[in-house]
Structure 1
Amino acid sequence: MRRMRIGLLTQWFDPEPGPAALPGMLATALAARGHEVQVLTGFPNYPTGRLAPGYRMARRRDEAVGATRIRRVALYPSHDRSALRRVANYGSFAVSALASGTPVLRGLDALWVGNSPISVALPMWFARYAHRVPVLLHVLDLWPDSVVASGFLGTGRLSRTVQRGMAGWCGAMYRSAARVACVSPGAVDLLAARGVPREKLRHIPMWADETPRPRAGDLRAELGLRPDQVVLVYAGALGEAQGLDSLIDACARVADPRLVCVIAGSGTTEERLRRRAEELGAANVRFLGHLPRERMPALMATGDVHYVSLRPGGMSAYTMPSKVQATLAAGRALLVAAEGDAADVARDSGAGITARPGDPDSIAAALRELCGLGREKLDLLGQAGRQHYERVFSVAAGAQRVERALSEVVHVHRR
């Protein structure tokens, strides 16, 4: 494949951690494949809302990391639950990128755009129509669906008006892009149903954070666990969308003394879940609360199985939680209580089993099956998952798909 001048437009980038690190991995992988890469991004402030060490806010700042050039532009740093401050964060990056960043996008062969947040459309449209740079739009979050599910918009007439406005805005983004990539097959079908031409749509899964880290121990000794105990870990938000009440109910129905369910995280349903576990006498459930990010690798190593759960309906059928890729990459087994794409990955990878979401009896049966397998066989499931990750979800596989789609974008533009 010929060498291309590729742009990446994303509000999130290194040294921001977690999901914000994924565009940086793409930039590195494309540069390693021989392409010239120019990134347009903001000053790093995720997830704390404070600038990363070594940075001071300025109108713009240029950096170079190997063969990758980076233009950072000013933004309002924030990442809390305030809708107003979140809008200020998203909007300030969009305006600043338009005013101070788009000159570096001139003359590119193609532009990869991470669509979350959708305010990134402003610099994207300028590059597309003023600089005549064709676009591959990667739909990392479905808008307005994800915003509605988060509860940010509230309810009522104003909320419905905002939703319609967002839907129209996203439709314009899809129309202006030469190709639209989705992270799950279900999202491809959904956008096709919303009028995006099938020939424009591509399935390009996202990868996990593959940043090398020191090998982590686990928390088994700290938690006082026996060698034969099977640990199921849920780590993440404790909200309505996750439907974790059914997990508590299921654990209360499993009498096998080998089962230990560890729940780490916080959210709106935390206190309710704690009370429910106490009321049901679910002594096999332990709540760790919110853990610091640096302890997450040890928690991942602690779990023989990791739990992915989504309440039935809504976005569940076409949502791909990032913990699916993270668990596969870590070589751990999966228990998925969700519909659609996430459940398909658990089955296709050979890394785990599925249960009916919201059904405590089905989940309890799955927990008994996991205990019956034991830790050694669960480790084999994790190894199968790691192999599947390398083939399907790794950054190397993702960069190859992105490269192919960008080449199509260039071809369509020239034709």
Structure 2
Amino acid sequence: MSTAYLYADLASELKKMGHEIEVLTTTPHYNIIASDIAKQPLKRKNLFFKQSIYDGIPVYHIPMTKSRFSLKRIIDFIKFHVLALCSIFIIRKFDIVLAPSPPLTIGVISYFLAKLKGGKAIYNVQEIYPDFAINQGMLKNKLIIYMLKSMEAYVYNKSAAVVTIDNVFSNIIKDRIHQKSKLHIIPNFVDTTLYVPGNRDNSFSREHGLTDRFVVAYAGNIGYAQNWAPIIYAAEQLKHLPLTFLIIGDGVMKPWLKDTILSKQLDNIKLLDYQPRELMPEINASADLHTIVMNAKTDAEGFPSKIYTILSCARPVVVSTGAHSPLGTFLTEAGSKRIVPLDDNDAYKNAILKAYHEREQLPAEGARGRQFVEKNYSREAVAKKYNDLINNLL
């Protein structure tokens, strides 16, 4: 589940609890779903902003476009931050600014907006930057690293509260915060009324020829945070079985993945484009098994929220992650047994094969996962924790 959906649900829940909410974001420019735009049409607010309404909540949009040109992306990035500061002229007085990461610069903007309006800033750490970019090898310049680490310390220590999503993240950043009491742990959540168990035989599975196959699914960002080598290897090794790897989404690694599938003639991998959120429960139900394969370089700094939606749909999962990573810790808490080491293609292939042979046991595993998220990670339970934090700050 993306941060956009996460914050949309959180805003709705906080509104139910009596808070007055206004949202500042961009115009849709990535994974655009026409039906979603039709339900939440954008109107021009003024020369620089557009406006829409979501669940009765005013949403102010700064226009941005998806571009493959670096210069255009840099210009849009700068424009967003400048206009975000200018939003003080269109948004009424507020008490709290809640901002997610990344990027770190959003934390800086949220602090200044709160300062200018006499409010307080809460910074929500969804991924740890710049650690993520450094470990991925995307960031090597020592001066830039120093600047970003200084910015990170500034955001953490100027914000009224810093929220991490689990103990692992909290332990990583706690020594970077002078006042430890401002550090809080509030997990992400799932809409358990939307993501519900469904029938394996449904319109999506029939449309894509999945009903008579054992389906292993991944739906989400196709990027650097995932390791695609084990999936490719398993698909090569298990071609003799009636097994399909279903990969749905978009991202920087998708062209490479598409070319690899074609060059290796892996007709047991079905690659589909990004799908509407409302279709995801049916997509999740179409699979016998879901999978997440983390990149070892960034395993400790990221947490794929899709794990909540998978379990909420009562589907079991095979995951490649470190035992003490955020995802590994979560799965251990959930009682998941299908965890394999990072960068171990054979172990991953064997885990998929084992699940295939134990497919009669999978529905019961999925049901236990559903019970786990209902108890601990419903959006109502998590929104209450944010509500308590906000009330304490005020």
TM-score by length of 2: 0.82
Tell me whether 1:366 sits opposite 2:354 in the alignment. no
| Counterpart-to-counterpart distance in 2, 1:331 and 1:163 | 42
| Counterpart-to-counterpart distance in 1, 2:305 and 2:182 | 24
Q: Return closer, same or farther for 1:121/1:318 CA change in 2, 3 Å cut-off.
A: closer
Q: Return closer, same or farther for 1:261/1:138 CA change in 2, 3 Å cut-off.
A: same
| Counterpart-to-counterpart distance in 2, 1:77 and 1:321 | 25
Q: Is the 8 A contact 1:218 1:299 kept in 2?
A: no
Tell me whether 1:115 sits opposite 2:98 in the alignment. no
Q: Match for 1:199 among 161, 178, 181?
A: 181
Q: Higher relative CO (CA 8 A, sep ≥ 6), structure 1 or 2? A: 2
Post-superposition offset of 1:223: 4.4
Q: Return closer, same or farther for 1:82/1:171 CA change in 2, 3 Å cut-off.
A: farther
| Counterpart-to-counterpart distance in 2, 1:139 and 1:308 | 21
Q: How does 1:19-58 map to 2 (within 5 A)?
A: 19-33=3-17, 35-47=18-30, 52-53=37-38, 54-57=41-44, 58=46
| Counterpart-to-counterpart distance in 2, 1:139 and 1:240 | 19
SS in 1 for 2:247: strand
Identity %: 19
SS in 2 for 1:316: coil
Q: Is the 8 A contact 1:72 1:101 kept in 2?
A: no
Range 132-141 or range 291-300, more displaced: 291-300
| Counterpart-to-counterpart distance in 1, 2:245 and 2:389 | 42
Post-superposition offset of 1:132: 3.0
Post-superposition offset of 1:346: 2.6
SS in 2 for 1:269: helix
Tell me whether 1:330 sits opposite 2:313 in the alignment. yes
SS in 1 for 2:217: strand
Tell me whether 1:221 sits opposite 2:206 in the alignment. yes
| Counterpart-to-counterpart distance in 1, 2:218 and 2:54 | 36
Amino acid at match of 1:166: L
Q: Return closer, same or farther for 1:210/1:104 CA change in 2, 3 Å cut-off.
A: farther
Q: Is the 8 A contact 1:102 1:123 kept in 2?
A: no
| Counterpart-to-counterpart distance in 2, 1:238 and 1:62 | 30
Q: Is the 8 A contact 2:111 2:121 kept in 1?
A: no
Q: How does 1:126-141 map to 2 (within 5 A)?
A: 126-141=112-127
Q: Is the 8 A contact 1:333 1:352 kept in 2?
A: no
Amino acid at match of 2:25: G
| Counterpart-to-counterpart distance in 2, 1:39 and 1:150 | 35
Q: How does 1:379-394 map to 2 (within 5 A)?
A: 379-394=363-378
Q: Is the 8 A contact 1:305 1:334 kept in 2?
A: yes
Range 345-354 or range 385-394, more displaced: 345-354
Q: Return closer, same or farther for 1:50/1:196 CA change in 2, 3 Å cut-off.
A: farther
Summarize deviations over 1:339-364 as a string: whole Å, max 9, x none. 21212323322355111121122112
| Counterpart-to-counterpart distance in 1, 2:261 and 2:157 | 47
Amino acid at match of 2:64: P
Q: How does 1:256-405 map to 2 (within 5 A)?
A: 257-265=241-249, 267-271=254-258, 273-274=260-261, 277-278=264-265, 285-293=268-276, 296-312=280-296, 314-339=297-322, 340-350=325-335, 353-374=338-359, 376-405=360-389
Post-superposition offset of 1:147: 4.7
Q: Return closer, same or farther for 1:107/1:155 CA change in 2, 3 Å cut-off.
A: closer
Post-superposition offset of 1:86: 3.2
| Counterpart-to-counterpart distance in 1, 2:342 and 2:336 | 18
Q: Is the 8 A contact 1:105 1:127 kept in 2?
A: no
Amino acid at match of 2:334: S
Tell me whether 1:176 sits opposite 2:161 in the alignment. no
Q: Is the 8 A contact 1:390 1:397 kept in 2?
A: no
Q: Is the 8 A contact 1:49 1:78 kept in 2?
A: no
Q: Is the 8 A contact 2:165 2:185 kept in 1?
A: yes
The number of residues matched between the two structures is 379
Unpaired runs of at least 5, structure 1: 1-16, 411-415
Amino acid at match of 1:273: T
Q: Is the 8 A contact 1:334 1:346 kept in 2?
A: no
Q: Return closer, same or farther for 1:347/1:253 CA change in 2, 3 Å cut-off.
A: farther
Amino acid at match of 1:128: A
Q: Return closer, same or farther for 1:330/1:50 CA change in 2, 3 Å cut-off.
A: closer
| Counterpart-to-counterpart distance in 2, 1:113 and 1:289 | 32
Post-superposition offset of 1:399: 0.4
Amino acid at match of 1:326: T
